[in-house]
Amino acid sequence: MDLDSVHRAEYGRCVATLTRLLGDIGRAEEAVQNAFAVAVQKWDETPPPNPGAWIVTTARNRAIDRLRRESTREARHVQALLLHQPDEPQFDLELIESRTLDGHSQELIYRPTLHA
């Protein structure tokens, strides 16, 4: 059985299984497609004894890895921002005066205050 035959025979079942596991058909299809791409690289001329199980396992593991990465992305971005912030003190601007000039424009006067 070659990879084309495996794809025709197993794709639908693999997507259905992954959809049940992930709860999202789009993610399931993407995961199965990525698993078939890995299969192209990993399998020589013949697939493993149970190619559908191999595809589902590979797709599931990679989807879980991706979900874990995505779940920690924002925290990693915040940490990176904290690492790259300047060591200079941060200031806020406090509005201390607002004047109307010529009836239309305003002049705003601010005082810098050290950020606590």
Task: Report the CATH number that the domain containing residue 10 is assigned in CATH.
Answer: 1.10.1740
The reply to whether 79 falls in a domain is yes
Domain count, the chain: 1
Is the per-residue pLDDT at 8 higher than 90? Answer: yes
* pLDDT tops 90 at residue 9: yes
Residue 12 is part of which domain span?
3-84
Sign of CA dihedral 29, 38, 44, 53: negative
Q: Is residue 113 part of a domain?
A: no
pTM over 0.85: no
Residue 82 has a pLDDT of 72
Nearest to 96 by CA among 79, 83, 84, 113: 113
In a domain, 95, yes or no: no
Is residue 45, in this structure, part of any structural domain at all?
A: yes
Residue at 100 is within a domain: no
Task: Determine what percent of the chain is predicted with pLDDT higher than 70.
Answer: 84
